[in-house]
């Protein structure tokens, strides 16, 4: 490997690394957010108070996991384009299905 090839590789990595780090941080935050609102996977807990409200009725508790979006959502940020698999929850009160991470990010 030549010096120019190594230098080009490092420049390319410096452009991709911040977006990848943001992608990983958002994915981890989303897992914790859904876990706090719905309980652990395969063992749902009812009546947990969530750090977000339903986008339909505004209630802040009793959500159910509703799976994830099949295609990654692309977010255009200052550090680059971030692709994120978005998880959905459902409000047991009004039956609205939404993504709490996208609701919190606006």
Predicted confidence (pLDDT) per residue in 8-52, tens digit = 777 776 666 777 788 888 888 888 888 888 888 888 788 888 888
Backbone phi and psi for residue 38, each to the nearest 5 degrees, phi listed first: -120, -10
Overall number of domains in the chain: 1
Rounded CA-CA distance 79/16 in Å is: 8
**Residues 16, 79: contact at Cβ < 8 Å?**
no
Record the pTM: 0.71
3 state DSSP class of 77: strand
Quote the domain boundaries for residue 15. 3-105
The candidate with the shortest Cα–Cα distance to 104, out of 54, 40, 62, 44, is: 54
């Amino acid at each position: 490997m030549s010096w120019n090839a190594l230098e080009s590789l490092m420049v390319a990595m410096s452009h991709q690394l911040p977006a990848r780090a943001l992608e990983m941080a958002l994915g981890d935050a989303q897992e914790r957010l859904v876990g706090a609102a719905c309980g652990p996977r395969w063992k749902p807990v009812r009546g947990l108070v969530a750090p977000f409200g339903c986008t339909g009725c505004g209630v802040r508790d009793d959500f159910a996991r509703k799976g994830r979006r099949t295609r990654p959502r692309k977010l255009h940020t200052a550090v680059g384009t971030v692709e994120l698999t978005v998880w959905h929850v459902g409000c047991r009160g009004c039956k609205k299905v939404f993504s709490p991470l996208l609701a919190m990010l606006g």
